[in-house]
A = this chain, B = another copy of it.
Amino acid sequence: MPALSEVPRTHPRYASLMTREKLVEGVGRGITGLNGLIAQGRGEALDYLIGEVTTAPAMEAERAAAAMLLLAEGPVLSVNGNAAALVPKEMVALANKIGAPLEVNIFYRTEERVKKIADLLRGLGAGTVYGDEPDAQIPGLDHARAKAARGGIYDADVVFVPLEDGDRCEALVKMGKRVITVDLNPLSRTARTSTVTIVDNVVRALPNLISLVDEMAGQDEAELRRLLEGYDNRAVLRRSVEEMISHLTHQFSALDG
């Protein structure tokens, strides 16, 4: 692959290529796994199907997520290998804005990779970073995947876990936590299981969340609670699928041109 600097900013797929390059760099730096590249590809294809923009239902989910994070008593932000490669600064910025710790949580756990991601986040100004010294287990997951930290995900009331897998998401919900995820597949088990599912590219969702938290921090709690009470995740997922169908239908008409 050409280096980032070789891709001209005018390239029609510049944003997508930049994202791809960051992931490949993440593999080189030992923070992203090879399976993370395959996950990125799945995301690329699905993002293409929603037109590579934040859709109206995604924005509604992001607004609900911001309210939930602001109302949470002990929110925690979970960071995996892809989030660490794509939006590390944004994860730290969001954590600092809401006074939440971060916790490194990767699918194919190696202590070395966890340590590298934790160090990366600390280097970017993170306060508390959990993950490299887990002292608790999430019930219902096998040993390596179950690892969690007291004071971190294990004790959180609200967990923000972008790009999470279905099993772990379900296990967190079963523990009684409210789970916010970012997943471009509105039909995935993660999407269906989570409390708030943001069907958006993580590189757009994080900057949006940071802006929304800034904007909504001044609202009173009752207002935020009303917003959350009116939020229907299943309806948002349905509208996300409709966005895909509508986009495919438009592209499909272009085939006749």
Q: Is the interface of A mostly helix, strand, loop or mixed?
A: helix
Whole-angstrom distance between the Cβ of A82 and the nearest chain B Cβ: 11
A108 at interface, CB cutoff 8 A: yes
Q: Contact partner of A37 among B38, B43, B252, CB < 8 A?
A: B38
Identify which of residues 9-52 in chain A touch chain B, using a CB-to-CB cut-off of 8 Å: 20, 23-24, 27, 33-35, 37-46, 48-49
Instruction: State which of A62-70, A126-134, A220-228, A235-243 sits at the interface with chain B.
Output: A235-243
Q: Contact partner of A241 among B20, B37, B252, CB < 8 A?
A: B252
Nearest B residue (CB) for A49: B49
Identify which of residues 231-257 in chain A touch chain B, using a CB-to-CB cut-off of 8 Å: 234, 237-238, 241-242, 244-245, 248-249, 251-252, 254-256
A116 at interface, CB cutoff 8 A: no
Q: Whole-angstrom distance between the alpha carbons of A44 and B46 in the complex?
A: 10
Residues of B within 8 A of A48 (CB): 185
Q: Whole-angstrom distance between the alpha carbons of A198 and B108 in the complex?
A: 34
Nearest B residue (CB) for A34: B24
Contacts A108-B1, A248-B245 given; does A255 touch B187 at CB 8 Å: yes
Residues of B within 8 A of A27 (CB): 34
Number of copies: 2
Residues of B within 8 A of A241 (CB): 248, 251-252, 255
Residues of B within 8 A of A39 (CB): 41
Contacts A40-B38, A41-B44, A45-B46 given; does A252 touch B248 at CB 8 Å: no
A192 at interface, CB cutoff 8 A: yes
Residues of B within 8 A of A34 (CB): 1, 24, 27, 34, 37
Residues of B within 8 A of A192 (CB): 255
Given A1-B35, A42-B42, A49-B49, 20 other A-B contacts at CB below 8 A? Answer: A1-B108, A20-B35, A24-B34, A27-B34, A37-B37, A38-B38, A41-B41, A41-B42, A41-B45, A42-B45, A44-B45, A45-B45, A45-B185, A238-B252, A241-B251, A242-B252, A244-B248, A245-B245, A245-B248, A245-B249
Which residues of A approach B to under 8 Å, CB–CB? 1, 20, 23-24, 27, 33-35, 37-46, 48-49, 108, 185-187, 192, 234, 237-238, 241-242, 244-245, 248-249, 251-252, 254-256
